[in-house]
Structure 1
């Protein structure tokens, strides 16, 4: 069976590419070669190259291992940490639950 390749939406390509560049910059600043990073992450060097070039097919596990090698695992907690829309939706749901039964339409 032939695998299907999913294409990253255009609006996400630039931020994913920028993330890869930031990762590469952080690695280079620590004077870690791609080969050594690959060894520490337990992947092939080409996988590190793909990650740093913004290839979205690289696994999250590899990304998290990479961050761990750099000492940036705390950054994982920042991902989707400021979800304003989710917070607003949750607050709206809570306010609906707080209504009196008489406020709701009764179906018969």
Structure 2
């Protein structure tokens, strides 16, 4: 996410995650600014089992930015079966698909 103006921004980001194997594993999700990890933005979620249950992890960051700064939502897990999940559009009844991540950015100052 590249920001065009100097200011304070609110970045909101829910992500839909699951794991496709058994056991208990962590996923870490954090913010990076201009290619470097941003201090104190990491959140660890622990998922258990392979029940095909989807988990929603959500973040709300307030950041000060200069014109041209860019931000990335980063994630990592030691479990190779951990994933960000999309769901295709459904029928009967009709409903839209679900993205794995939604990002909203709003300048507040």
Does the pair score TM above 0.5? no
Bin the TM-score by the shorter chain: under 0.3
TM-score (ref. length: structure 1): 0.27
> Which structure: larger Rg?
1
Higher RCO (CA 8 Å, separation ≥ 6 residues): 2
